[in-house]
Amino acid sequence: MTSTTFRIGGDLQVRRLGFGAMHLPTEPGPDRENALAVARRAVELGVTLIDTAHLYGGGANEELLAEALHPYPEGLLITTKVGVARTGPAGEWKLDGRPSILRAQVEQALRRLRVERIELLQLHRIDPETPLADQLGTLRELQTEGLVGRVGLSEVTVAELARAREIVDVVSVQNRYNLLDREHEPVLDACTMAGIAFLPWRPVAWGKAGAGAEIAAVASDLGATPTQVALAWLLGRSPVVLPIPGTARNEHLEENLAAADLDLTPAHRARLDRSAEEPRATASERG
């Protein structure tokens, strides 16, 4: 039986199947009211890990979650990301890991989320124009000051993860990964070896007709949906995998979370892995 929980950093226990808040509308109106209801429903259904970021509406997504869920129930982890800012030449979004930007975004997140400490803060991307030691050194300083509990990374390579771990204790990695998109398989393997939480974004995708048919066939065998099969495959891939599927609809939320109760047989997993071999080879050829 696949474990349903994981301790991030060895002590922060969450249910492995979380929720990505990126798709929740934040503009005033009926869509926002529905978004508030979806966030609340996620917690009602047992979600204890919710992912957001400064990038999502320039902090509007963080404010939405606070409006929906504050005061937060015990055991709920809302993790946010910093390091992308409107500092491009024309005010467009760009990677920006300068210490002043990171510190400002953390201070804004604390205010928007209505907390005194962010238990898990992730660097949204490594800024190639700022020394890595400066970026992670700032996050380490924020830890020392008690404003950040734990530090994670997003969209990193194995080498970048190794370099980062020389500077700060990295407890999570958030990279794109799903059954048919395993470009970051080496990173997942490194996280598994080190006991680092791996949060795959875009956890559900099937762009190849043949592979999609195989996923649908396994779903039919199990009386499940293809989405549930794809999420169950992730949960069985490694005990450190914490998928964060996102949606703005309650019916999809409930469908996603039901995947935690779906057990794939070894035969089903082998069938799914075979279906993914051709897409993986194609991705490898692309470099």
Looking up tokens 């194995």 gives 158
Query: Which H helix or E strand runs over 141?
Result: helix 132-144
Q: Of residues 56, 177, 201, 206, which has the active-site annotation?
A: 56
Degrees to nearest 5, angle at CA 242 with 238 and 247 = 135
Residue pair 143/149 in contact (Cβ under 8 Å)? The answer is: yes
Give the residue among 65, 18, 29 at the shortest CA–CA distance from 253: 18
Largest CA distance in the chain: 54
Give the residue among 235, 231, 229, 237 at the shortest CA–CA distance from 268: 229
The rounded distance, in Å, linking the Cα atoms of 257 and 175 is: 20
Q: Is 56 a catalytic residue?
A: yes
User: Is 248 strand, coil or helix?
Assistant: coil
Query: Which H helix or E strand runs over 30?
Result: helix 30-44
User: Is 215 strand, coil or helix?
Assistant: helix
- Residues marked as catalytic: 56
